[in-house]
Amino acid sequence: MQFISESLIDQQANHIGEADDLSPSVERLKARQPAIFAYLFSEGFNLLTEKEKEYLLFLTLVIFESILQVHPEQKNISDKTIEDLEESNWEILNDSKARSFREKLDPFFEQTNQEDLLAFVEDAVAYDDDELITKEGADHIFIGLKTIIDSLERAVMEN
């Protein structure tokens, strides 16, 4: 998959962040990648607060629209593929012996072709007392978004 640049990600984040109505982007995601849309509302994210769920959706739309700008043709990804990718990502995170959240993410950067997308996710979910993401939610949101990036990358490569 072609590299998705920080400038494109920032452009999409600004565009989506300033939109009065997210429904066109949500509908595009739902139509183009129904399994990813369903994944966002799966029980794995039930422990998130409502604000975290809204933020997860926003971040997913930024990622999806950024990739869509560069790769308009994508294969539909399956629920099974998402499940497998998520399981693999949880294994990587759980195998980490690092103490800090950011250090736990280092193995993901060592094996990605989309460093700017991953850095966007890392910055978006880094826990801070003033932020809307809880310590508990940070891992789940990071793994969810990393799984979505992996899924979309697979959808582009298999097309």
DSSP assignments along 56-100, one per residue: HHHHHHHHHHHHHHH----PPPPHHHHHHHHHHHHHHHHH---SS
Residue 100 lies in a domain: yes
Residue 13 lies in a domain: yes
> Which is nearest to 120 in space by CA: 1, 8, 2, 26?
8
Residue 109 lies in a domain: yes
Q: What is the pLDDT of residue 132?
A: 81
CA angle 25, 28, 29 (to 5 degrees): 90
| Positions in the chain short of pLDDT 50 | none
pTM for this entry? 0.94
Biggest alpha carbon–alpha carbon distance for the chain: 43
Domain count, the chain: 1
Residue 136, domain extent: 6-157
Residue 1 lies in a domain: no
Q: What is the pLDDT of residue 130?
A: 59
Q: What is the pLDDT of residue 111?
A: 87
Q: What is the pLDDT of residue 128?
A: 63
Q: What is the pLDDT of residue 136?
A: 84
Q: What is the pLDDT of residue 92?
A: 96
Q: What is the pLDDT of residue 116?
A: 97
Residue 146 lies in a domain: yes
